[in-house]
């Protein structure tokens, strides 16, 4: 041991253009234009040795002072029904997260993870089984998109933060990710093509409203009264509907961006006609003449939850009832049903398999 302290290497995927220029000029002693070349390669998920228009001394210096946090594809499943692709990624420390790429008429959309695991405890969600391990960095979130684009040979134009984890529980990294992914010199994905889903962390909703970002906020509701919402979403004990809905109203007033409320339909729990009536009354009372949308989601059966989907007819009847009550509601299109495309299922299965192998 010579007592030398090794300087921590910087992750290029976490850098905005100013930081990348600083690295190139100060650490690597190169001209600023090299930063633009590196940024272009990062958009292709290129490794250092693939950056063929950079001089070899610069490549060598980058390897010494920087890293690339691209996730490795641990598993990849393609739906035979609709070509939805689910990636199970292994991060550099071995943690597993998921991303799902879906094709729509408007192009390709990706649903990404923001944490390894989740501590919110929603009973219907596989992502929360096992709790939260750690937050993802902005570079790791960006890497989910970059690797998916390279693997599939497509350009992704829409992003949904609705995979494993609660985005607003990883607020600082998520905010930096949003600025990176929308940067013109990067992937240049418009904020209007980005949706962020939250279970309802009221203080962070207020913080996000101040950022003046043109994204769509999706709020998980799933029940129209505190007793039933708390039974399936423990976060409601801390931030009940009396606090959550005014925060959503304030978010619209500050940003002008319509809120989308997610409502997971669970057979025998919250899918009766009376539940539709109560939901309509709650939202119309809370929002007045402000616009909002209800996104109805048939629950994905997770063995540990015991919850089951209702019939397709009952789902459509619930939607029609809301529409008749002048509530803008639609049923979310189900994609990747044959590949367990809902968040957390592949990660949980991989973890269970690993435990089984250790015990055998």
For the stretch 8-66, pLDDT in tens is 889 999 999 999 999 999 999 999 999 999 999 999 999 999 999 999 999 999 999 99
Q: Spot the catalytic one: 14, 43, 98, 138.
A: 98
pTM over 0.85: yes
Q: Which residues pair with 160 in a beta bridge?
A: 111, 195
DSSP conformation class of 4: P
Q: What average pLDDT does this structure show over 317-346?
A: 82
Q: Spot the catalytic one: 28, 125, 248, 343.
A: 343
pLDDT (0 to 100) of residue 342: 59
Question: E strands within 32-145?
Answer: 66-67, 72-78, 85-90, 96-104, 107-112, 115-116, 134-135
CA angle 88, 191, 240 (to 5 degrees): 75
User: What end-to-end distance do the CA atoms of the chain give, in Å?
Assistant: 41
343 is catalytic: yes
How far apart are the C-alpha atoms of 56 and 320, rounded to whole Å?
Answer: 63
Q: How would residue 355 be classed by pLDDT, with cut points 50, 70 and 90?
A: very low
Residue 72: C-alpha distances to residues 56, 90, 147 (Å): 25, 5, 8
Cα-Cα-Cα-Cα dihedral of 202, 206, 211, 214, to 10°? Answer: 70
Provide the token pair at 332.
């979310």
Tell how far CA 106 is from the center of its chain: 19
Q: What average pLDDT does this structure show over 289-304?
A: 86
3-state DSSP helix/strand/coil % of the chain, to nearest 5: 45, 20, 40
Provide the token pair at 207.
């913080």
Provide the token pair at 78.
């393609």
For residue 340, pLDDT over 70 is answered with no
DSSP conformation class of 6: P
Tens-place pLDDT, residues 137-188: 999 999 999 999 999 999 999 999 999 999 999 999 999 999 999 999 999 9
How do strand 194-198 and strand 134-135 relate by DSSP bridges? unpaired
How do strand 107-112 and strand 115-116 relate by DSSP bridges? unpaired
Contact 297, 264 (CB under 8 A): yes
Residue 214: half-sphere exposure toward Cβ, Cα within 13 Å:
6
| Residue in this structure with the two tokens 């990660």, named with its chain if needed | 347
């Amino acid at each position: 041991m010579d007592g030398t302290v090794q300087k921590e290497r910087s992750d290029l995927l976490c850098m905005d253009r100013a930081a990348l220029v600083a690295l190139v000029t100060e650490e690597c002693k190169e001209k600023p234009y090299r930063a633009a070349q590196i940024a272009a390669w990062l958009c292709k998920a290129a490794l250092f040795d693939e950056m063929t228009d950079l001089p070899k001394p610069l490549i060598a210096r980058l390897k010494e002072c920087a890293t690339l946090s691209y996730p490795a594809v641990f598993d990849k499943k393609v739906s035979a029904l609709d070509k939805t692709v689910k990636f199970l990624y292994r991060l550099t420390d071995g943690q597993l997260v998921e991303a799902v790429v879906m094709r729509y008429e408007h192009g390709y959309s990706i649903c990404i993870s923001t944490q390894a695991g989740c501590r919110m405890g929603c009973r219907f969600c596989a992502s929360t089984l096992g709790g939260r391990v750690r937050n993802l960095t902005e570079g790791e979130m960006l890497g989910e998109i970059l690797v998916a684009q390279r693997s599939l040979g497509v350009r992704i134009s829409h992003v949904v933060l609705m995979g494993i984890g609660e985005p607003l529980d990883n607020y600082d990294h998520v905010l930096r990710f949003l600025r990176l992914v929308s940067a013109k010199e990067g992937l240049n994905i418009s904020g209007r093509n980005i949706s962020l889903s939250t279970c309802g962390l009221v203080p962070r909703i207020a913080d996000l409203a101040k950022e003046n970002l043109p994204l769509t906020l999706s709020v998980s509701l799933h029940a129209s009264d505190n007793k039933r919402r708390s039974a399936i979403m423990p976060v409601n004990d801390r931030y009940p509907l009396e606090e959550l809905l005014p925060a959503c109203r304030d978010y619209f007033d500050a940003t002008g961006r319509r809120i989308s409320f997610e409502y997971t339909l669970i057979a025998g729990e919250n899918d009766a006609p009376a539940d539709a009536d109560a939901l309509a009354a709650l939202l119309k009372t809370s929002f007045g003449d402000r616009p909002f949308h209800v996104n109805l989601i048939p629950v994905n059966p997770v063995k540990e939850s015991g919850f089951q989907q209702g019939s397709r007819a009952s789902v459509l009847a619930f939607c029609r009832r809301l529409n008749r009550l002048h509530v803008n509601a639609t049923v979310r299109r189900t994609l990747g049903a044959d590949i367990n495309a809902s968040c957390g299922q592949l990660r949980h299965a991989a973890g269970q398999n690993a435990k089984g192998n250790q015990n055998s």
